[in-house]
Amino acid sequence: MQQAITFDLWETLIADSRALDKKRAVYRVKRAHRILHRAGFDVSRKELELAHREVWESCWEKWERARDISFADQVNLFLNLARPGLVKALQPAVIREIGEHYAKAVLRYPPRMIKGADLVLRELRKEGYTLGLICNTGRTPGFVLRKLLTRYRLLKYFDVALFSDETIVRKPDPKIFRLALKALNCPPSRALHVGDDLKNDVRGAMKAGMQAVWIEQTGQKAPAGIKRIKSVAGLPCLRAIALRRAQARHLK
């Protein structure tokens, strides 16, 4: 029996869309342009739009190696890509204001909570499981994602919440799973991870010695033997089946 269950965030507990992501991009660029103009810096919208795209490409090189950068470094990267040396020319207060808008775009255009996610977490807590969240971040930092999870009344269910912009290590590196398990005081053999990404969630958790449940994605095929569900809402059903099987083996 598991004593701890960890969860992925994006497309596991919350669901995003390209339309929302595009709105956030427009918001970040528009706000940065306005703040820079007010501070006396003539950086064009086009320069900021290009920089916004290039940030993702630059970060992706690190993400592919399961590493990350801090949110402050990402904001500085964004500004220096828009105009080399811009960060040194700006007052810290201006950089902070741009960073605040860059971060909170997800609160203005939030993803939706996946149906049943709150009920699953509540049930698991009632049953005595310790719960953890392990999230690879993109443009939105952990401190804002905590606010989003509080808005959805999900954060209260987690005993630990790890975000890669804070840990600087990302899934599928086993280190981030081990960090969560250490905080939960749980050995890998008694822990289960739930997520939608075969590489980051399933293989990463298994490399850390955990069991894994994959939330099936269209067009992807998991290796034989991987436990799978259609949605996080199906997790209690899967666990109930496993429990009945374990009890049956015990009675034999």
Give the domain CATH number at 157. Answer: 3.40.50.1000
Q: Which residues is 195 bridged to in the sheet? A: 214
**193 lies in the same domain as 96:** no
What's the domain count of the chain? 2
130 and 247 share a domain?
A: yes
Q: What is the pTM of this model?
A: 0.92
The residue among 78, 108, 138 that closes a domain is: 108
The H or E element that residue 237 is part of is: helix 235-251
Per-residue pLDDT of the chain (252 residues; tens, 9 = 90+): 569 999 999 999 999 999 999 999 999 999 999 999 999 999 999 999 999 999 999 999 999 999 999 999 999 999 999 999 999 999 999 999 999 999 999 999 999 999 999 999 999 999 999 999 999 999 999 999 999 999 999 999 999 999 999 999 999 999 999 999 999 999 999 999 999 999 999 999 999 999 999 999 988 888 788 999 999 998 876 554 444 444 444 444
Which of these three, 108, 141, 167, is where a domain ends?
A: 108
- 149 and 224 in a common domain: yes
Do 148 and 63 lie in a common domain?
A: no
Final residue in a domain of this structure, among 56, 90, 108: 108
Instruction: Say which DSSP state 67 is in.
Output: B
> Could you tell me if 8 and 79 lie in one domain?
no
Query: Do 59 and 130 fall into the same domain?
Result: no
Domain shared by 60 and 38, yes or no? yes
CB 231 within 8 A of CB 115: yes
Are 154 and 227 part of one and the same domain?
yes
Residues 73 and 166 in one domain: no
Rounded to whole angstroms, the Cα distance separating 142 from 36 reads: 25
226 within 8 A of 212, measured Cβ to Cβ:
yes
Q: Where are the alpha helices (DSSP H) in the chain?
A: 18-38, 45-63, 71-82, 86-89, 92-108, 117-126, 142-151, 164-167, 174-184, 204-207, 235-251
Quick one: 118 and 96 in the same domain?
Answer: no
For residue 157, give its domain range. 4-16+111-251
Q: And the tokens for 105?
A: 């775009």
Residues 103 and 72 in one domain: yes
Same domain, 245 and 200: yes
The amino acid at 226:
I
